[in-house]
């Protein structure tokens, strides 16, 4: 059981570091604009979640232990619902209503579409 905790922690620390790097070095936020870093990590993370789910859970290409490292750990920390929620609220409170609604739609609908496309891609590769 302790190994599962270590697996999630290891994956989570890498995922958090990658998200931090995207938001602070690659897609640095600009006040009053779409928070591109959060959109990027949520869409990419969703696509990877669908892809990895098919490979590990459905097709059993990898040991199920990798689910803890990659899905619960890495992708759980890489993607971010709490940051998305705060940024959406901030856009709304700053009277950027259209931008806030676009941001919400891109994250929610986009993430659902990306998890579906990631799973479809994995099934086509197999």
Q: Give the annotated binding-site residues for Na(+).
A: 76, 79
User: Residue 96 corresponds to which tokens in the numbers above?
Assistant: 């950027």
DSSP, collapsed to helix, strand or coil, labels residue 37 as helix
Is 102:94 a contact under the CB 8 Å cutoff?
A: no
Compute the distance between CA of residue 118 and CA of residue 115 in angstroms, rounded to an integer. 5
Compute the distance between CA of residue 60 and CA of residue 106 in angstroms, rounded to an integer. 31
Which of 43, 64, 42, 44 is closest to 53 using CA atoms? 64
Compute the distance between CA of residue 99 and CA of residue 55 in angstroms, rounded to an integer. 36
Q: Which residues are annotated as a binding site?
A: 76, 79
């Amino acid at each position: 059981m302790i190994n599962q905790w270590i697996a999630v922690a290891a994956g989570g620390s890498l995922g958090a570091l990658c998200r931090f790097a995207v938001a602070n070095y690659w897609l640095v936020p600009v006040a009053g604009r779409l928070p591109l870093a959060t959109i990027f990590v949520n869409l990419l993370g969703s696509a990877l979640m669908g892809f990895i789910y098919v490979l590990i859970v459905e097709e059993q290409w990898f040991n199920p232990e990798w689910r803890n490292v990659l899905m619960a750990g890495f992708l759980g920390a890489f993607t971010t619902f709490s940051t998305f929620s705060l940024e959406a609220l901030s856009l709304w409170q700053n009277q950027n209503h259209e931008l806030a609604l676009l941001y919400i739609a891109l994250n929610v609908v986009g993430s659902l579409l990306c998890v579906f496309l990631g799973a479809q891609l994995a099934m086509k590769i197999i």
